[in-house]
Amino acid sequence: MGENILAGFKFFSEVAPETLEKIAQKTELLEFAPDDVIFKYDEPAEHLYGLLEGEVDLSLVFTDKVLKTDIEYEESIQASMVDEEKSIVIDTVSPNQIFGWASLVGPARRTVTAGCTENCRVVAIAAADLKAMFDQDHHLGFVLMKKLSDIIAKRLKVRTDKLIETWVEAFDGDTI
């Protein structure tokens, strides 16, 4: 028996080997190509993911109103406001990091869009399986939810910093 596929993840570092083996048995190995989307903002969140190889951008997707013009003739310009979907990369996932934490907390809906920037190998763990294990093993639940809260806090800080940076650029000022 080889090394557990989850052993390289700091997220699982405090989990006993036999418990980690039980979690690994519930994982599914997925492969993605560059520009593939693993999940989209506001979709139901049913899996926690761990990146084995590659790079995944986590993006906030929003709708912006933009002025669209259609020039039919030189003297006839049609202008209208249209919704355009835009995104801001707020964090990048590297190998041996987990992502998709929304599957384990709150309303279980995606808070970002996760897209591959290169070929990726990913492990997917069904959130329902993990939650069932937490119910049976409260220590496991405590240890992993504590690690999860650290990840959420870090991502929230990165998101806030990125949004402030974007607002300052957009409004070209020191006051928001």
Does residue 85 form part of some domain?
Answer: yes
For the chain, what percent of residues have pLDDT higher than 90? 63
What single letter denotes the amino acid at residue 102?
A
* Predicted confidence (pLDDT) per residue in 2-54, tens digit: 579 999 999 999 999 999 999 999 999 999 999 999 999 999 999 999 999 99
HEC profile of the chain: CCCCCCCCCHHHCCCCHHHHHHHHCCEEEEEECCCCEEECCCCECCEEEEEEECCEEEEEEEEEEEEEEEEEECCEEEEEEEEEEEEEEEEEECCCCEECHHHCCCCCECCCEEEECCCEEEEEEEHHHHHHHHHHCHHHHHHHHHHHHHHHHHHHHHHHHHHHHHHHHHHCCCCC
Q: Is residue 70 part of a domain?
A: yes
Does 2 reside within a domain?
Answer: no
Q: Beta-carbon neighbour count of residue 122 at 10 Å?
A: 24
Tell me, yes or no, whether 71 lies in a domain.
Answer: yes
Per-residue CA distances from 22 to 15, 25, 146 (Å): 11, 5, 20
- Whether pTM exceeds 0.85: no
173 confidence band (pLDDT: 50, 70, 90)? low
Percent of the chain scored above 70 by pLDDT? 88
Cβ atoms 144, 11 nearer than 8 A: yes
Which residue, among 149, 147, 137, has the nearest Cα to 22 in the 3D structure? 137
In the chain the first and final C-alpha atoms are separated, in Å, by 57
pLDDT-derived band at 168 (thresholds 50, 70, 90) equals confident
Range of the domain at 56: 10-171
Q: Which residue has the higher pLDDT, 70 or 140?
A: 140
Which CATH number covers residue 50? 2.60.120.10
Q: Residue 92 CA to chain centroid, in angstroms?
A: 9
Specify the number of domains making up the chain.
1
Residue 1 lies in a domain: no
Q: Is residue 60 part of a domain?
A: yes
**What rounded mean pLDDT belongs to the chain?**
88
Give a yes or no: residue 4 inside a domain.
Answer: no
pLDDT interval class at 141 (50, 70, 90): very high
Span 111-122, pLDDT tens digits: 899 999 999 999
- Indicate whether 5 belongs to any domain: no
